[in-house]
């Protein structure tokens, strides 16, 4: 068995002048070396080869399809569009890799990848046919087919499908996590909507010159000059009323404070009543009384 020497440390007591301290002591030990994992090395090498093939395929297809599209548009746009053909099926394969533990989820990107591959191969073949080199076009199209086939084999080797019960358990956990994630966005949306409603109410209240109406407004503590609830004439709260009628009604009910009269006028007569107008009407009503 092969071994390798490594250095480790440990705490040991060390005494000087009768005082003991724990210090680090370095020592070496021989540990067995595990056998080389040839399966992992081979799989890594195959994956690297598949990546190299994909890069070569993108270069070939982009050059071929770019030359085809260059006949109808400017060169940068032509080659940018040409790169899309192979990047689409490669992206689908990446999604298939992410879903390698879920056969059902991996099915859609796999089918979409085959469709994108067929379109890319057709475009490469069309370039060869237009250039009067149909045989080269077929060989070039085969490059994309071989790259896709290689990656399909590699992905199948990496894929680890789950049994039915384990897959159901995973789906349940994924659904719960997805629900929690969705509620984050929903709560954010509701908070934003409530903030907009509050801002709208504040803006309307500021425009009318009063405080925002709340359910507690009907239970306000009576101020000086107002009659507490149940101790005096009930103030009529239904309209329509003119400003003068509202002022006279407030005075007849014993409401004499200008602020209280102003609130009553805005409540039953005109929500946008100006304070100067109400005070002027209040002075006239007092003089006429």
Six token digits for residue 107: 């099915």
∠ CA 89-94-98 to the nearest 5 degrees?
145
Same-domain check for residues 118 and 23: no
Same-domain check for residues 27 and 79: no
pLDDT for the residue numbered 190? 87
Residue 170 resides in a domain: no
Helices 134-158, 103-130: axis angle to 10 degrees equals 170
Residue 96 resides in a domain: yes
Same-domain check for residues 15 and 94: no
Same-domain check for residues 26 and 75: no
pLDDT for the residue numbered 229? 46
Same-domain check for residues 21 and 60: no
Of 113, 135, 158, the residue that ends a domain is: 158
Residue 199 resides in a domain: no
Residue 179 resides in a domain: no
pLDDT tens by residue, the chain, 289 residues: 788 899 999 999 999 988 999 999 999 998 888 888 888 899 889 989 988 988 888 898 999 999 889 888 888 899 999 989 888 988 998 998 888 888 888 889 999 999 999 999 999 989 889 888 888 889 888 988 888 888 888 888 888 878 888 888 888 888 888 888 888 888 888 888 888 888 888 777 777 655 445 444 444 444 444 444 444 445 555 556 777 877 788 877 778 788 888 888 887 777 777 888 888 888 888 777 6
Same-domain check for residues 25 and 67: no
DSSP state of 37: -
Residues 6 or more apart whose CB falls under 8 angstroms from that of 141 comprise 121, 122, 124, 125, 128
Same-domain check for residues 28 and 47: no
Cα–Cα distances (Å) from 94 to 51, 110, 151, 280, in that order, read 12, 10, 10, 78
Percent of the chain that is helix, strand, coil (3-state, to 5): 65, 10, 25
Same-domain check for residues 153 and 95: yes
Is the distance from CB of 86 to CB of 62 less than 8 angstroms? yes
Total structural domains in the chain?
3
User: What's the predicted TM-score (pTM) here?
Assistant: 0.52
Same-domain check for residues 124 and 57: yes
Say how far apart CA 288 and CA 252 lie, in whole Å.
13
Residue keyed to tokens 């009318």: 208
pLDDT for the residue numbered 119? 92
| 11 alpha carbon, distance to own chain's centre | 50
DSSP state of 3: E
Residues 6 or more apart whose CB falls under 8 angstroms from that of 70 comprise 78, 79
Same-domain check for residues 17 and 81: no
Say how far apart CA 271 and CA 261 lie, in whole Å.
13
Residue 230 resides in a domain: no
Of 100, 133, 158, the residue that ends a domain is: 158
Residue 69 resides in a domain: yes
pLDDT for the residue numbered 240? 61
Is the distance from CB of 286 to CB of 251 less than 8 angstroms? yes
Residue 220 resides in a domain: no
pLDDT for the residue numbered 219? 46
Q: What is the DSSP string of 200-235?
A: HHHHHHHHHTSPPP-GGGGGPPP-TTSPPTTSSPPP
pLDDT for the residue numbered 226? 47
Of 129, 158, 187, the residue that ends a domain is: 158
Q: Which helix (H) or strand (E) holds 98?
A: helix 75-98
Range(s) of the domain holding residue 11: 3-32
Residue 261 resides in a domain: yes
Same-domain check for residues 58 and 135: yes
List the one residue out of 54, 80, 77, 68 whose CA is nearest residue 133. 68
Same-domain check for residues 106 and 59: yes
């Amino acid at each position: 068995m092969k071994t390798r020497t490594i250095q480790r440390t440990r705490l040991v007591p060390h005494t000087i002048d009768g005082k003991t301290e724990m210090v680090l002591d370095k020592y070496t030990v021989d540990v067995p070396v595990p056998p080389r994992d040839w399966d992992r090395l081979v799989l890594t090498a195959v994956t690297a080869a598949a990546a190299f093939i994909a890069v070569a395929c993108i270069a070939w297809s982009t050059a071929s399809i770019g030359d085809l599209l260059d006949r109808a548009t400017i060169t940068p746009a032509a080659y940018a569009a040409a790169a899309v053909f192979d990047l689409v099926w490669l992206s689908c394969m990446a999604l298939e890799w992410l879903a390698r533990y879920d056969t059902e989820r991996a099915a859609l990107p796999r089918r979409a990848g085959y469709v994108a591959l067929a379109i890319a191969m057709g475009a490469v073949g069309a370039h060869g046919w237009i250039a009067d080199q149909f045989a080269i076009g077929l060989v070039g199209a085969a490059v994309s087919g071989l790259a896709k086939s290689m990656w399909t084999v590699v992905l199948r080797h990496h894929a680890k499908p789950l049994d039915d019960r384990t897959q159901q358990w995973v789906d349940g956990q994924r659904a719960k996590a997805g629900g929690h994630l969705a509620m984050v966005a929903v709560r954010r949306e509701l908070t934003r909507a409530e903030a907009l409603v509050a801002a709208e109410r504040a803006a309307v209240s500021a425009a009318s010159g009063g405080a925002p109406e709340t359910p507690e407004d009907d239970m306000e503590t009576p101020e000086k000059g107002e009659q507490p609830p149940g101790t005096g004439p009930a103030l009529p709260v239904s309209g329509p009323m003119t400003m003068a009628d509202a002022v006279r009604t407030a005075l007849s009910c014993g409401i004499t404070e200008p602020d209280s009269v102003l609130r009553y006028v805005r409540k039953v007569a005109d929500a946008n009543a100006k304070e100067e107008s109400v005070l002027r009407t209040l002075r006239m009503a007092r003089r006429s009384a």
